[in-house]
Amino acid sequence: MPTYNSAEYLERTLESLGQMIGANSEVVEVLFVDDGSTDQTLTLLERTVAKDPMTYRLLKAKHGGVSKARNLGIKNAMGEYVTFIDSDDAYTANFIPVFLQQATALPDLIWEDVSKLEHSRLQRITTSTERLNLMSMVLGLTTPFIQEGIASKFYRREFLVENGLEFDEKIVVSEDTLFILEAIDKAKSIYLSDFNFYWILEEHSLSRFNEQVLGSEVAYERKVENLLSNYPIQKLKIILRIKLNGVYTLLRRYYGAKCLRGELSLRGATAGLKQMMRQQHYRESLKSGQYDRLFSKRYRVLRKLLKFRLYRLALVVDISLDKIKGSKWR
């Protein structure tokens, strides 16, 4: 669990974490990796570790971002499986016996919370088509599907080490999706489960507002294209979906967020968005509405406005909706 100034919601998460472990602490290790917090986060974590040092460990690091914190966790983990959890979420009580049963065959990956899954199953991964199907599941392109982020996914630790899999510390957007896709590219087996394990309670975007975001989004997209370069033609829908998501990320979580925070004028944001949209691959992704069903009504409207190059209006709509919702993009 990476933490960074998480005191506001951390106690709730720690309580849920304890309930998730239940009476099975002898087979669980929780690594807190604090990313240079300056609030009461460390005090809360130190108190938790002091109560049960056999289950909980605390690693302290200088502020370097969530990817660096997760990589430090991988290097220091001692368990047979690793999962990544956020400091503002919740988990199902007494989950460990369920997980131990799922891990019997030692699959490289275990996914919980797979929606519209007919039955839980162990699946061997031997073909490019099977890997593309799993990637499509993560991106919501097919049924069954799973939430795109880091939640609900477990990795056999030796599998990560043997394949040199870690988070790209230079990418600050979609770094979790990239990690998941790279893991699918290497995995030989996966256990798929519809068990309800993980609840994402809040959205915090602490890394979205620095200048790395613009270059990072393009770097992420290029890495995915390189990863899929030897895959069959079905890869194109994955690449298009990722580029479309990139447009929304930069509009809402960069330009729109900066306006809301008073860091950029509407005029400046419009100019920046216009410059970004001159890139051909972004314009191409907006032409078709074939993936509109994967996104909210807000994003469907924004796609149409961007398609017709109504950049200022797109920002006004986005910012207005965030104000109505009370989003502050802390």
Q: What is the pLDDT of residues 59-85, one digit of tens each?
A: 999 999 999 999 999 999 999 999 999
Under the banding of pLDDT at 50, 70 and 90, the label for residue 210 is: low
Name the band, by pLDDT with cuts 50, 70 and 90, for residue 207. very low
Segments making up each domain of the chain, as ranges: 2-199, 224-325
Under the banding of pLDDT at 50, 70 and 90, the label for residue 217 is confident
pLDDT at 201: 81
E-strand ranges in 13-163 read 30-34, 56-60, 81-83, 90-91, 109-111, 121-124, 153-156
CA distance 104 to 311: 53
Mean pLDDT of 34-56: 97
End-to-end CA distance of the chain: 20
d(CA 324, CA 96): 41
Q: What are phi and psi of 231, to 5 degrees?
A: -90, 160
pLDDT of residue 203: 57
Cα 151 to Cα 138: distance, rounded to the nearest angstrom? 11
Query: What is the pLDDT at residue 204?
Result: 52
What gap in Å lies between CA 260 and CA 320, rounded to an integer?
9
Q: Is 85 helix (H, G, I), strand (E, B) or coil?
A: coil
Looking at the domain that runs over 2-199, which CATH code has it been given?
3.90.550.10
Residue 206, pLDDT above cutoff 60? no
- Tell me, what's the pLDDT at 214? 73
What is the per-residue pLDDT for 330?
62
Instruction: Please tell me the pTM assigned to this model.
Output: 0.89
Strands (E), the chain: 2-3, 30-34, 56-60, 81-83, 90-91, 109-111, 121-124, 153-156, 189-192, 198-199
Band the pLDDT of 211: cuts 50, 70, 90: low
Give strand pairing partners of 10: none
pLDDT tens digits for range 267-281: 999 999 999 888 777
pLDDT of residue 172: 85
